[in-house]
Amino acid sequence: MHMETGDKIPEVLGLDQAGNEVRSSDFEGKALIIYFYPKDNTPGCTAEACSLRDFNSELEAKGYTSIGISKDSVASHAKFADKYSLPFILLSDPTTEVNQSFGVWQKKKMAGREYMGTVRTTFVTDTDHRITHIITKVNTKKAGEQLLELLADAGQ
């Protein structure tokens, strides 16, 4: 299953840094930026998180709440968020159920080896949590700027 523009996101989004289940209904009336990333504390994922951190106030000023999701543990997310002063929620999806529901849990190849993993993807929703934009080619070093440009081009 792949989420597409116009689709409503699933209700269950994962576990927050405190181990609490987070639901899309917890963000009623808020537009969301949900970014899926492979792993805490890796170069690309750290660059992406820090870019989103650096542009978080501009994204919030436009009415967006950012949420990061990976299959890393709640404890890993807590350390990662603390280490890089991330001002947004990181959700744990240890079973990959949320990754699968968004269609980002896919077969990947590295060094001739095939394995299942998270394909870095960002979803933008409106206040009804319908997907308005999907970014499949995320610029990890400029993820925040990439989102602001996309939203500006869309008149948001």
Active site residues: 45
Angle at the Cα of 13 from the Cα atoms of 72 and 103, rounded to 5 degrees:
80
C-alpha distance across the termini of the chain, in Å: 28
Angle at the Cα of 136 from the Cα atoms of 23 and 108, rounded to 5 degrees:
95
3-class state of residue 17 by DSSP: coil
Q: Is the CB of residue 62 less than 8 Å from the CB of residue 33? A: no
Tokens of 54: 């650096």
Buried b or exposed e, range 61-74, using 16+ CB within 10 angstroms: eeebbbbbbbbbeb
Compute the distance between CA of residue 117 and CA of residue 105 in angstroms, rounded to an integer: 5
